[in-house]
């Protein structure tokens, strides 16, 4: 009797867990990537102890809007150098669940080197429109539209791009699409979407790695957001870029392994490419660990841009 009762209880519990798991895989996990947390600086002031306006970083800026080919409005800050001679403009792209205001530190480095910058909220992020993040599938066209605007604002001066994590993956894909972008700085990013989805999937599934479950979730995400995950391969984009490039990655990154981005670096055919490893660096703390060194590396790279 006790065994029968145990088996009955076990079957009920197992059935409930299986049903719950199915519902999570079908209705929760597919949205975790394509529907990221929307950080708006004014509503998250605790994240910005130094303030969330350009003047808090000794920057001069004005708010701008970019309209994408599919009529989504992206919000951004156009941040200007205080040097007499402007050397160009760099489009700065944040990581997933972040926003344009987190990029003021990078904009400060650019301003000191004579570059204006455009810090954008990616689609489905911050104050920009759009419902879904597609990891570059649509975003590369968004940023190409931003290049249209930047080219008009800067009177033919060089245009560069600087991305971190998701923003770097989008930067590579945009550079492959748009040769007007003359150079790129690529931090802590992935080579293929399906590979990085498996890495993040293991986090959500308590370390469990299941290609079947990941593929099921990706398939559902693709259906919801109407994009092709198999086409999101920054490494293939990198193989078409013969322009100056600087790559940065931490060797202790537990979100995106260093070797993912190393593949991007090795694929770039440019003779003017540089790799920087941040020893002990994770996914989001590179500048806290080695800010001075990275500032010098980025500064030296920018000094070579004509």
68-95 pLDDT, tens digit per residue, is 999 999 999 999 998 988 999 999 999 9
pLDDT at site 207: 54
Over residues 113-140, mean pLDDT: 97
Instruction: Read off the pLDDT of each residue in 241-255 and give the average, rounded to a whole number.
Output: 97
How many residues comprise the chain? 306
Residue range 207-237, pLDDT digits in tens: 556 677 888 899 999 999 999 999 999 999 9
What percentage of the chain reaches a pLDDT higher than 70? 88
pLDDT score at 39: 96
Across 4-13, average pLDDT = 51
- Give the mean pLDDT of the chain: 90
CATH 3.40.50.1820 assigned to domain 35-192+232-303? The reply is yes
What DSSP element (H or E) covers 223? helix 211-225
pLDDT beyond 70 at 202:
no
User: pLDDT higher for 64 or 10?
Assistant: 64
pLDDT at 151: 86
pLDDT, tens digit, for every residue of 14-70? 444 444 444 445 557 888 889 999 999 999 999 999 899 999 999 999 999 999 999
Mean pLDDT over residues 106-129, rounded?
A: 97
Domain ranges of the chain: 35-192+232-303
Q: Which two tokens stand for residue 133?
A: 């993040």
Confidence of residue 153 (pLDDT cuts 50, 70, 90): confident
pLDDT of 13 higher than 50: no
Distances (CA, A) of 126 to 60, 75, 142, 271: 20, 8, 15, 36
In the prediction, which pLDDT does 198 show?
86
**Using an 8 Å Cβ cutoff, are 301 and 246 in contact?**
yes
pLDDT, position 32: 85
d(CA 104, CA 110): 10
Which residues pair with residue 80 across a beta bridge? 60
């Amino acid at each position: 009797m006790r065994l029968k009762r145990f088996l009955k209880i076990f079957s009920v519990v197992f059935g409930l867990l299986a049903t719950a798991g199915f519902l999570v895989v079908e209705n929760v996990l597919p949205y975790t990537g394509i529907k990221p947390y929307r950080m708006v600086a004014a509503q998250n002031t605790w994240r910005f102890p130094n303030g969330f306006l350009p003047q808090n970083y000794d920057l001069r800026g004005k708010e701008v809007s970019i309209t994408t080919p599919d009529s989504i409005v992206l919000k951004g800050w156009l941040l200007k150098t205080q040097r007499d001679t402007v050397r160009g403009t760099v489009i700065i792209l944040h990581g997933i669940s972040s926003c344009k205001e987190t990029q003021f530190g990078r904009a400060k480095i650019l301003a000191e080197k004579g570059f204006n910058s455009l810090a954008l909220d990616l689609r489905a992020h911050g104050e920009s429109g759009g419902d879904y993040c597609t990891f570059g599938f649509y975003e590369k066209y968004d940023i190409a539209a931003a290049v249209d605007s930047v080219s008009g604002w800067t009177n033919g001066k060089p245009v560069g791009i600087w991305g971190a994590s998701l923003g770097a993956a989008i930067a590579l894909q945009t550079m492959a699409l748009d040769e007007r972008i003359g150079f790129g700085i690529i931090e802590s990013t992935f080579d293929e979407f399906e590979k990085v989805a498996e890495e993040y999937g293991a986090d959500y599934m308590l370390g469990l790695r299941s290609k079947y479950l990941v593929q099921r979730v990706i398939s559902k995400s693709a259906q919801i957001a109407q994009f092709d995950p198999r086409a999101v391969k920054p490494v293939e984009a990198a193989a078409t870029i013969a322009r100056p490039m600087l790559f940065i990655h931490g060797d202790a990154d537990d979100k995106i392994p260093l070797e993912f981005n190393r593949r991007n670096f090795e694929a770039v055919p440019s003779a003017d490419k540089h790799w920087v490893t941040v020893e002990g660096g994770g996914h989001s703390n590179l500048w806290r660990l080695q800010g001075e060194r990275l500032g010098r590396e980025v500064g030296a790279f920018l000094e070579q841009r004509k």
